[in-house]
Amino acid sequence: MAYLCNLYIVIDEEMDVTDNRINGFIDQIMDLDLSDNDLSTCIVGANICELNKTICGKCCKCGAWVSDQQNVDSIDGFSDGCCIDGKWWCDLCLQENHPKHF
């Protein structure tokens, strides 16, 4: 059996990144010891793209990255959310009477 593991990393220029946390994180992933499960890992591809902020954004309340999952161009791996009056909301932070509230 083989598994495909998708890993999503957002590099946010608004973050105060003063160290090399992203490379450190990737190193940790590559160093995972899965030998107890008789699994081996290899990276078969990587892709970096600029986020289209018309289809995703950070929740104005909790800061989670969200995308409108009903939009055909939504971003896989992001939580569901929506943009209201220019502000993004995740499904957890939306008002309870909103249809997307979770």
Site residues (vs Zn ion, CB under 5 A): 59, 61-62, 90, 93
In the complex, what is the shortest distance from the CB of residue 88 to Zn ion, in angstroms, rounded to a whole number? 8
Q: Which is nearer to Zn ion, 51 or 79 (CB)?
A: 79
Tokens of 81: 């959310």
Q: Give the shortest CB-54-to-Zn ion separation in angstroms.
A: 19
Least Å from the CB of residue 53 to Zn ion: 16
DSSP sequence for the chain: ------------TTS---S-HHHHHHHHHHT---GGGT--------------TTTEEEBTTT--EEE-TTSTTPPTTSEEEEEETTEEEETTTS-TTSTT--
Nearer to Zn ion, 23 or 97 (CB): 97
Specify the residue, 26 or 51, whose C-beta has the smaller distance to Zn ion: 51
